[in-house]
Amino acid sequence: MDEIDFMLRGEHIALDALLKATGLAESGGRARALITDGQVRVDGQTELRKTCKLRAGQQVSLGDVRVRVRGAG
């Protein structure tokens, strides 16, 4: 499994924005489609909320890629 560490700039980031920022989705529309199709998991659970707020310590999985959300401090 490939892993990506994503550093937050603020307190949280929306799930669709994270997918776009990490390159897992080429556009916001594609990110929202992946989420709606049930392909994205947050902390091991399928997440269908496109703007789910992700905070430091959470993990997002899409296919064989896992993104670890890290705090700025």
pLDDT for 72 equals 74
Report whether pLDDT(6) > 80: yes
CATH code matching the domain that covers 2-70, chosen among 3.40.50.970, 3.10.290.10, 2.60.40.10, 3.90.226.10: 3.10.290.10
Report whether pLDDT(1) > 80: no
DSSP symbols for 11-72: S-EEHHHHHHHTTSSSSHHHHHHHHHTT-EEETTEE---TTPEE-TT-EEEETTEEEEEE--
Contact present, 54 and 4 (Cβ < 8 Å)? no
Non-local (6+) Cβ contacts of 30 within 8 A are 19
Q: What is the mean predicted confidence (pLDDT) over 5-13? A: 95
C-alpha closest to that of 56 among 47, 44, 43, 46: 43
- Percent of the chain at pLDDT > 90 equals 96
Domain range list for the chain: 2-70
Convert the pLDDT of each residue in 31-62 to its tens digit: 999 999 999 999 999 999 999 999 999 999 99
